Amino acid sequence: MSVLYNTTYLRVHYDGFAHALESEWLRPPTSEELRTGLQIGLELAREYHVRAWISNLRQMPGISLEDEIWVRTVWFAQFIQLDITHMAIVESRSQSIRSGVVELLERAGQLAPLSTGYFANRAAARNWVMGGQLIPGQPLHSIPNPGLSDHRAGL
């Protein structure tokens, strides 16, 4: 896995074998850092033609209402234009972030084919992406994975 972007608040890795991007928030970002980081992720996903995105949100606290609106409108409109078929979320400790991400990705799944998995740690998310599960249209519920976090394990 190679590092494509590295700052004090965000690190983005790329795995060419899995055509996967992994964004890892290293600390709570400012509003400007959040928007810059999310835009960089979109640009790298486009440039590297990724099919899977692992978003590690463990260090992500709640975000402002203004940033949430920006993510739901500006960022999301660009995200659904990508060829991403799998989105693995390493969940935040923040309930508001978890709820917002679930709602956003459920909406994405209605607009484009997207399988989404929610995980308690990055190893489980990577295993799901690397485990030969990159078959478009394969339902998530058929994928056995003990790494799913407790409150999303029923998906």
pLDDT for res 91: 81
Q: What is the pLDDT of residue 144?
A: 37
pLDDT in the model for residue 111: 62
Flag residues of the chain having pLDDT under 50. 132-155
The candidate with the shortest Cα–Cα distance to 39, out of 91, 86, 79, 1, is 79
Return the structure tokens found at 90: 């390493």
pLDDT at residue 154 in the model: 32
pTM: 0.76
Tell me the per-residue pLDDT of 113-137, one tens digit each, with 9 for 90 and over. 678 888 888 888 988 988 744 433 3
**Cα 46 versus chain centre, distance:** 15
pLDDT at 100: 65
| Pairing mode, strands 20-25 and 10-15 | antiparallel
Confidence at residue 85, expressed as pLDDT on a 0 to 100 scale: 87
pLDDT of 108 reads: 59
Q: Give pLDDT, residue 96.
A: 60
